[in-house]
């Protein structure tokens, strides 16, 4: 064998070793995923998204490394969707109603249609998205949706047993709930949940529309003394768990498959979580001396009648955007009706 041939073989062998070493190094590189969450540390919504990150690391055998940023330290609640689009974080959850008009199809789910539970609202949100596939979500990868337990009325010092009692009360709302409160006779005060505690303490708000879980998670039971169970006009708030589109597209196929499978499982986990924390929040309220007001059927019918124009108004506004607003509202109404109390 010629010396030149030997040298060529040695060079090829050396190149092969370098290639294998390089592939090994890159193969061992972890995929970094940053999760942002704005809920307070330790509450159900915080625990669930943190668990999702830990679960992802475990199921990918450490190929994915998750960094978790809680309590709005990376992105505050109102900017959570834009923060994901811009790549400030890779994964977060966003409330559709916090950015009014941004998600016209998804916001329809928040309407006060008498939701009986967080589970019904959560499964509805996911089935609804699968059916209508609204393009308003195309800038992100949707992982899954979840939705709060029934949103009802809570007041600081004045019991509300009839519509007339709402007159003059400043009630914290968001999204379509502001219109609802106007129709019912109260004064809506729009703000994110993170501002409500101070608003209640300083008298900026006399109460709020929310689910029972806020009595514990956000400590509103420190101020709230009455909860009016107006379940026939109970609303929900739809949350979207989303991933940055560029990050999603960069993931290997096997990691994507794991995440998609997890998303289906976390729909059920979210549904269970919402109803458990609502029940826990109600107990906290009662333990602090809060009282539950159960409206009569006749009075509830009055509230429903006042809310009715809201459904056509929102459906019509969505239709003007060239979207199937009326079909969507009917789908939601029919879905909820099957599970009403």
**Residue 198 covered by a domain:** yes
User: Which tops the pLDDT comparison, 5 or 93?
Assistant: 93
CB-CB neighbours of 328 under 10 Å: 23
Residue 29 has what pLDDT? Answer: 85
**Residue 5 covered by a domain:** no
> Taking each helix axis from N to C terminus, what angle separates 325-337 and 118-132, rounded to the nearest 10 degrees?
150
Q: Where are the alpha helices (DSSP H) in 60-173?
A: 80-85, 104-107, 118-132
**pTM, two decimal places:** 0.90
Strand-pairing partners, residue 187, are 170
**Residue 11 covered by a domain:** no
Sole residue written with tokens 């055998």: 61
Residue 133 has pLDDT above 70, yes or no: yes
CB-CB neighbours of 249 under 10 Å: 10
**Residue 100 covered by a domain:** no
**Residue 221 covered by a domain:** yes
pLDDT tens per residue, range 205-259? 999 999 999 999 999 999 999 999 999 999 999 999 999 999 999 999 999 999 9
Question: Residue 206 sits in a domain of what CATH number?
Answer: 3.40.190.170
**In this structure, is the dihedral angle defined by the CA atoms of residues 132, 138, 144 and 150, taken in order, positive or negative?**
negative
**Residue 13 covered by a domain:** no
Query: How many structural domains is the chain composed of?
Result: 1
pLDDT tens per residue, range 139-150? 999 999 999 999
For residues 74 and 76, give the distance between their C-alpha atoms in angstroms, rounded to a whole number.
7
For residues 142 and 140, give the distance between their C-alpha atoms in angstroms, rounded to a whole number.
6
**Residue 288 covered by a domain:** yes
For residues 287 and 280, give the distance between their C-alpha atoms in angstroms, rounded to a whole number.
11
Nearest CA to 205 out of 180, 232, 187 is that of 187
C-beta separation of 179 from 274 below 8 A: no
For residues 121 and 271, give the distance between their C-alpha atoms in angstroms, rounded to a whole number.
8
**Residue 318 covered by a domain:** yes
> Residue 195's domain spans which residues?
152-236+280-337
Categorize the per-residue pLDDT at 2 as very low, low, confident or very high, splitting at 50, 70 and 90. Answer: low
């Amino acid at each position: 064998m010629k010396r030149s041939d030997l040298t060529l073989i040695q060079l090829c062998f050396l190149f092969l070793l370098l290639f294998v070493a390089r592939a090994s190094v890159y193969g061992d590189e972890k995929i970094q995923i940053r999760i942002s969450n704005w809920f307070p540390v330790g509450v159900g919504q915080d625990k669930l998204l943190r668990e999702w990150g830990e679960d992802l690391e475990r199921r990918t055998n450490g190929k994915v490394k998750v960094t978790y940023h809680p309590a709005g330290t990376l992105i505050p609640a109102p900017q959570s969707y834009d923060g994901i689009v811009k790549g400030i974080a890779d994964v977060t959850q966003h409330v559709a109603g916090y950015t009014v008009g941004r998600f016209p199809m998804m916001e329809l789910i928040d309407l006060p249609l008498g939701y009986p539970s967080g589970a019904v609202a959560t499964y509805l949100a996911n089935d609804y998205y699968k059916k209508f596939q609204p393009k308003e979500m195309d800038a992100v990868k949707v992982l899954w949706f979840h939705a709060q337990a029934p949103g009802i009325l809570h007041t600081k010092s004045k019991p509300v047993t009839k519509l007339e009692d709402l007159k003059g009360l400043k009630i914290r709302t968001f999204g379509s709930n502001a219109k609802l409160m106007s129709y019912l006779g109260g004064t809506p005060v729009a703000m994110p949940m993170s501002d409500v505690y101070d608003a209640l303490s300083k008298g900026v708000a006399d109460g709020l529309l929310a689910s029972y879980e806020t009595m514990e998670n956000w400590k509103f039971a420190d101020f709230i003394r009455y909860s009016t169970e107006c379940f026939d006009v109970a609303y929900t708030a739809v949350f979207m768990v989303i991933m940055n589109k560029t990050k999603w597209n960069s993931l290997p196929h096997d990691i994507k498959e794991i995440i998609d499978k997890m998303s289906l499982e976390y729909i059920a986990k979210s549904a269970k979580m919402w109803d458990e924390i609502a029940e826990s929040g109600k107990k906290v309220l009662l333990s602090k001396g809060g009282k539950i007001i159960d409206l009569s059927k006749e009075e509830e019918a009055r509230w429903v009648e006042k809310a009715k124009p809201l459904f056509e108004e929102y459906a019509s506004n969505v239709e003007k955007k060239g979207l199937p607003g009326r079909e969507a509202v009917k789908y939601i109404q029919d879905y909820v009706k099957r599970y009403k109390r």
